[in-house]
Structure 1
Amino acid sequence: MKKLLFVFSFLSFTLIGFSQETEAKYDEALAKSLHADEYGMKKYVFCLLKSGSNTTVSKEESKKLFEGHMANINKLAKEGKLSVAGPFMKNDRNYRGIYIFNVETVEEAKKLVETDPAIKANLLEAELTPWYCTAALQEIPKMHDKIAKTKM
C-alpha cells in the first residue's frame, strides 16, 4: 500500500510539475509602452493622505473643496499622472486615502499634490514616498472605466 501511495504521489507531482508553464509571455512592445524595466517594474511615488490641520472650514466650503479634489483626481488620471487613488475606510489613524503617482520623483509628485484644492486648503496632508511596483499598475484606470457602471 505504501508503495502504491508513493508511486501515485510521484506521478501526481511529476505531472503537476510538467504542466506548469515555464515560458514567460513577454510582450516587448507593451513593456516599452509602460516604461517597464527588465523585471516588468517601474518607479512611482506613493502618497498617503492624512487629515489636515484645517478643522474650521464650513461644510459648504468643505464640500466645494472636495468636489475640486475629485475633479483633480480625474484630471490627473486622464493625463496618466495618477495610476491609483482611493479613500480609506474609517480608521483611528487619520488616514484618509492614497494616491499612486505615475512619476519617478518625489519632486514631480509634490507639484501634482499642489494642484489638489483639499490639500492646498489643509483639509488633507500628503506624505510622499518613492515606490517600486509592477509597470502594469498604469493599466488600472483603463480597466476601471470598463467596470464602473456609475462615474464618481
Structure 2
Amino acid sequence: MKNSLQILAFLLITSIGFSQETDTKYDESLAKSLKADEYGMKKYVFCLLKSGTNTTASKEETKKLFEGHMANIGKLAKEGKLVVAGPFMKNDRNYRGIYIFNVETIEEAQALVTTDPAINAKLLEAELTPWYATAALQETLKIHEKIAKKKI
C-alpha cells in the first residue's frame, strides 16, 4: 500500500511538471529583424490573381507576357517585397494564383502589382486585401531555396 501511494504521488508530481508550459524560445533580435509584433505577427497584403479581361492575346504575346510575369516574381522576391507566390490548380472560379506582399498597405501593394506585365496587359487581374499573419512567413523563400532541386 505504501509503495502504491509513493508511485501515485510520483506520477502525480511528474504529470504536473509536464503539464506546465515550457519556456518560450523567444529571439528578440530575430523578431525585430522580421518586424514582428508581440505575437510574432505582422501586416502583409494578400493578392488574389484572377483571369483578366484580355482574351484576345496571341499565344506568342501571352507567352512573352507570362515570361515577364515570372521574371517580375523573381525580382520582387529578391527585393523582399514578395514572400509567397504560386498558381492555383485548375478551378471553376477563374482563380489563377496568389501573391503575398511584404508591405503594410494596399497602396504599396498596388505599386508592386503595376510592375507585372501580365496584369498590365489584363491577362490577370489583382484583388488586394490587408492580411495579418506570422512574421516568419518572410523566411519561407530561404527555406525553399534549400529544398528545391530545380528553379522554376
TM-score by length of 1: 0.89
Return the letter of the residue paired with 2:71. A
- Taking a change above 3 Å as real, the CA distance of residues 26 and 91 of structure 1, as seen in their structure-2 partners, is same
Matches within 5 A, 1:2-151: 11=11, 15=15, 18=18, 21-151=21-151
- Local SS of the residue matching 1:45: strand
The CA distance in 2 between the partners of 1:28 and 1:150, in whole Å, is: 34
- Taking a change above 3 Å as real, the CA distance of residues 38 and 116 of structure 1, as seen in their structure-2 partners, is same
The percentage of aligned residue pairs carrying the same residue is 81
**Number of residues paired by the alignment?**
146
Query: Which structure has the greater CA radius of gyration?
Result: 2
- Local SS of the residue matching 1:130: strand
Unmatched 5+ stretches in structure 2 = none
- Local SS of the residue matching 1:42: strand
Unmatched 5+ stretches in structure 1 = none
Q: Which runs of 4+ in 1 moved over 3 A?
A: none
TM-score by length of 2: 0.89
**In angstroms, what is the RMSD of aligned CA positions?**
2.1
1:15 deviates by: 2.7
